[in-house]
Structure 1
Amino acid sequence: MKTRQGTSGAVSGSRPSRAQGRFHRRSGPSGAADDVGLSRRHLLQAALVGAGGVALGGALSGCATPEASGSGRTSVMIWDLFSGGDGALMQEMVGAVAKANPDIAVDSTTLAWGAPYYTKLAMASSGGRPPEAAVMHMSRLAGYAPGGLLEPFDLDALADLGVTQDHFAPAVWEKAQFDGQLYALPLDTHPYIAFHNPAIAGDAGLLGADGRLAIAPGADAFLDAGRAMAEVTGETGVSWGYLRDPAGCWRTFWGLYNQNGGGYDLTPGKPAELDERAAEEVFEFLQEMVDGTVAAKNQDGGAASGRFMSDRTGVMFAGEWDLPMFRDANPDVGASPFPAIFDQPANYADSHSFVLPRQARPDPAKREATYRVLAGLLKEGLTWASAGHIPAYQPVVETPEYQELTPQRDYASAAEIAVFDPDAWFTGGGSDFQTRMGDSMTDTLSGKATPASAVTRILGEMNRFLSQPSPA
């Protein structure tokens, strides 16, 4: 039986399976997670959780307030994976929080993004000597919380600092849960959205009175809009690069699949299940879109971005993190949630979140200071929003200052309809799962294979992952 999934990622009409977000935490006699020691076995397991066997590596860089030793201040170390502009913004936020908390010395350390980061984090948690907090893509939570590599947040302690459930979009808060407890504190929502060139969209008659992109719901309406923009540009209407961008393929597919009501079941020991007809309909739409007029055939991500930034297409599918690049090319660039192609509003997204790696010897003073630092960083979300990210802490989104940010305010509602990667230990940002899913689609998107072929290949790859026991 195929399950159907709503926009929050929960399956409607059936009891959620473990793979759909309700895991069972292994516990010892006391009910706490089994102790994780420094044994070779646990370290190897941690490496597998982090990278699926990828070797550990990556450069580190840090920014710290003066050393706490001998100063009477409490030190808090935070690992993150932010480089470039995001890294500079995070350090600005850390500086502001440190200034507001002079009794805390914040040590912010940046590691290389990708599998090496998650491997190092898993091994540090397994060894019992991790940083006080770390940044994690929330889509990776299912590979860490069930194995006792993370500790849950104390909701009362967060509430004392002005951080409560009603400050977050429900879909985001739900994804941050495991076994009824909060294991991730969301910093942002970063969705896969639609950027647009206002001049091209306007000439094609696709802007509303408020200047925002106005395309009627439905596949036919979107394809017609793409053709109208192609007439304006003389080339194509929509930029989407699927070659050599498996993560982009997966994000587009999974968002549309959820729009089409598709569900899933990824239960270990059972064959993977998708709504195969719903998935085929997504590929039928995408094949029709990459017809050489609506969108270019056989195009990679770099070429798609180049077309959009040189005014040769009117709409671009991309992550909101590309806003700075697109705005440099076109200061008037607009953006909106992903177009409504199918019946259920849904927008693929992930979330940078703070987690509490498991400490072998928790220090109450450090934990209290950590909560203060993390709550402070959430409240610095306006700085984070300048890069395009949607602050997860909604009081920031509701401020007049945020509402003056364009186009950020125009796609902020994408957080309300966010759908995340399926819950399984092998899924999530930077994982081999996304790469293998995207690679399964390229022949179909290039017109070399049928929609049914892509679905068969996806299920086959999912089954290969499910055949491997979870290291946690």
Structure 2
Amino acid sequence: MSTSQSPRRPFTRRTFLSLSAAGGLTATLAACGGGSSPREGAADPAPATGDGGASGYDGPNVDLKFWNGFTGGDGPTMKALVDEFNTEHANIAVTMTTMQWADYYTKLPTAVTSGNGPDVGIMHVDSVPTNAARNVIQPLDDVATALGLAESDFAPVPWKAGLYDGKRFAIPLDVHPLGFYYNKDVMEEAGLDPEAPPMDNESYMSALESFKSAGIEGHWASPFPFTGGLSLQSLIWQFGGNLFNEDGTEVLWAEEPGVKALTWWADLIKQGYSPAKVDQDADYVAFKNGENAFNWNGIWQINDLKKTDIGWGVAALPNIGGTDAAWAGSHQFVLPVQKAADDNKAQASRVFLAWISEKSQAWAEAGQVPARNSARESQEFTDLAEQSELASQIDNLHFLPSVPGIGDSMGEFDKALNAATLGGTDPATALADAAGRAQKILDDNAKKYGG
């Protein structure tokens, strides 16, 4: 269900995903892959013109539609920013419409084709290349040039991820990485120092043994994409591997690093550190209930945990495989293609995008890491202790390659995780079988999208 909010009312302000919405991320991750072929008969979007919003907007009143999927605790923060923008820009009225991310990715291409799409949108980084290839979103090189934006202004990983086919299609707003949550109460119960979470494989396994001796299953291994799949991806990078080659044409997760990573994850069950069958989100619920000690989860859980009365802490992911690495996502601004050209709306949309991009420090309070270096390095952000801790991973974060439809193949990756974690399939076999199926998807997508 979507909600529209009137822009001309008086100003009134995972979490990214609360526990109740956590299942939505699974749908989102699946949806990010796209899966539809390029729009039939669609022409390449015309090169962007104008000054990218640098000179502001002094034209007649315009109404802009802004779509996003911020239905959780981050929604009020974005709504407050939209309201603030509207009060400062008398001739631009932005209406924000929110919907579940899965619905957003389904509705957006159809709306754009019919000429009823939004003027501004938000997109997860792994959806950008697919929608660029399908001519759903337009290049933003003019915005980056007008604002003097460069890689030096942003964390390199999300900045580069907005590029597709040599053009910029997205401006990064944030990154939301995986982090290591530890229950201090449970650590004390097992005789461990609650202020010294284990940060390497040796100390991590030692801690799990201590929990086991105390009758506690310390780290529950989720067989689901959220968050088991995100954890497994992180482990593969930590063991020195990759999911794909650099240009996204070859599946690599069945190589030795992938086998080591999935073996480590499945062994959490075999060695008695985790229950054999963990339901969706049960690992996080158990963490909040003091039934386990360690949980690898997203930054979006910070605000949710602040509502509890348990003793907890958060840190960068432990280095299990020898290389610091973690999964991350990123929200990025996009401008959908417009069926009918409107120079006034085009300029006003760029003014809005530029303005709100500079407000990333305020956005951090919703439980995100700002993509802009200046915001991340500010005292205001440093004072957000938990977000700052997870931001320490900024140079070690990983995204999928910027290839249209690459997310389609990740469904096979998740099947390998499930087979090894729930079904007891040998990790090497599970990964190899999944890689074979995923490779066919990559090959088919290369033909579909003209690669």
Instruction: Give me the TM-score of the superposition, normalised by structure 1.
Output: 0.75
Structure 1 residue matching 2:285: 3-state secondary structure: helix
Structure 2 residue matching 1:316: 3-state secondary structure: strand
CA contact (8 A) 1:158 1:375 kept: no
Question: 1:285-324 maps to which residues of 2 (within 5 A)?
Answer: 285-291=264-270, 293-324=272-303
What is the deviation of 1:271?
Answer: 6.6
CA contact (8 A) 2:413 2:435 kept: no
CA contact (8 A) 1:194 1:339 kept: yes
Percent identity over paired residues: 24
CA contact (8 A) 1:78 1:106 kept: yes
CA contact (8 A) 2:413 2:431 kept: no
What is the deviation of 1:72?
Answer: 3.5
Distance in 1 between residues matched to 2:421 and 2:401, nearest whole Å: 22
Show CA shifts across 1:323-351 (max 9, x none).
23222224653212222111222110111
Q: 2:73 aligns to what? A: 85
Distance in 2 between residues matched to 1:316 and 1:295, nearest whole Å: 11
Question: 1:283-432 maps to which residues of 2 (within 5 A)?
Answer: 283-291=262-270, 293-330=272-309, 332-428=311-407
Gaps of 5+ in 2: 1-37, 43-58
Gaps of 5+ in 1: 1-35, 44-70
Structure 1 residue matching 2:307: 3-state secondary structure: helix
What is the deviation of 1:467?
Answer: 4.9
RMSD between aligned residues? 2.8
Distance in 2 between residues matched to 1:455 and 1:166, nearest whole Å: 37
What is the deviation of 1:397?
Answer: 1.8
- Alignment partner of 1:237 out of 203, 218, 235: 218
Q: 1:151 aligns to what? A: 138
CA contact (8 A) 1:391 1:397 kept: yes
Q: 1:215 aligns to what? A: 198
Distance in 2 between residues matched to 1:110 and 1:364, nearest whole Å: 25
Structure 2 residue matching 1:97: 3-state secondary structure: helix
Q: Which letter does structure 1 place at the counterpart of 2:71?
A: S
Distance in 2 between residues matched to 1:99 and 1:164, nearest whole Å: 29
What is the deviation of 1:319?
Answer: 1.6
| Residues 95 and 229 of structure 1, relative CA distance in 2, 3 Å threshold | farther
Q: Which letter does structure 2 place at the counterpart of 1:169?
A: A
- Alignment partner of 2:182 out of 170, 173, 196: 196
Structure 1 residue matching 2:107: 3-state secondary structure: helix
Distance in 1 between residues matched to 2:280 and 2:154, nearest whole Å: 32
CA contact (8 A) 2:406 2:442 kept: no
Q: Which letter does structure 1 place at the counterpart of 2:380?
A: E
Q: 1:180 aligns to what? A: 166
Distance in 2 between residues matched to 1:421 and 1:295, nearest whole Å: 29
Distance in 1 between residues matched to 2:60 and 2:256, nearest whole Å: 63
Give every structure 1 segment of 4 or more consecutive aligned residues whose post-TM-superposition deviation is greater than 6 Å: none
Distance in 2 between residues matched to 1:440 and 1:248, nearest whole Å: 14
Distance in 2 between residues matched to 1:227 and 1:94, nearest whole Å: 50
Distance in 1 between residues matched to 2:178 and 2:41, nearest whole Å: 36
What is the deviation of 1:236?
Answer: 1.8
Aligned residues: 393
Q: 1:463 aligns to what? A: 439
Show CA shifts across 1:247-281 (max 9, x none).
4232122111112222324989x774445111111
What is the deviation of 1:406?
Answer: 2.8
| Residues 180 and 423 of structure 1, relative CA distance in 2, 3 Å threshold | closer
CA contact (8 A) 2:254 2:428 kept: no
What is the deviation of 1:459?
Answer: 0.7
Distance in 1 between residues matched to 2:166 and 2:258, nearest whole Å: 31
- Alignment partner of 2:153 out of 155, 159, 167: 167
Distance in 1 between residues matched to 2:328 and 2:67, nearest whole Å: 22
What is the deviation of 1:297?
Answer: 2.4
What is the deviation of 1:289?
Answer: 2.1
| Residues 170 and 206 of structure 1, relative CA distance in 2, 3 Å threshold | farther
Query: Aligned pair 1:227/2:204, yes or no?
Result: no
Query: Aligned pair 1:118/2:118, yes or no?
Result: no
Structure 2 residue matching 1:84: 3-state secondary structure: coil
Distance in 1 between residues matched to 2:193 and 2:267, nearest whole Å: 20
Structure 1 residue matching 2:178: 3-state secondary structure: strand
What is the deviation of 1:163?
Answer: 4.5
Structure 1 residue matching 2:320: 3-state secondary structure: coil
Distance in 2 between residues matched to 1:304 and 1:93, nearest whole Å: 34
| Residues 168 and 266 of structure 1, relative CA distance in 2, 3 Å threshold | closer
Q: Which letter does structure 2 place at the counterpart of 1:190?
A: H
| Residues 383 and 231 of structure 1, relative CA distance in 2, 3 Å threshold | farther
Q: Which letter does structure 1 place at the counterpart of 2:343?
A: P
Question: 1:46-65 maps to which residues of 2 (within 5 A)?
Answer: none
Q: Which letter does structure 2 place at the counterpart of 1:465?
A: I
Structure 2 residue matching 1:458: 3-state secondary structure: helix
CA contact (8 A) 1:239 1:317 kept: no
Question: 1:24-103 maps to which residues of 2 (within 5 A)?
Answer: 41-42=40-41, 72-103=60-91
Q: Which letter does structure 2 place at the counterpart of 1:298?
A: K
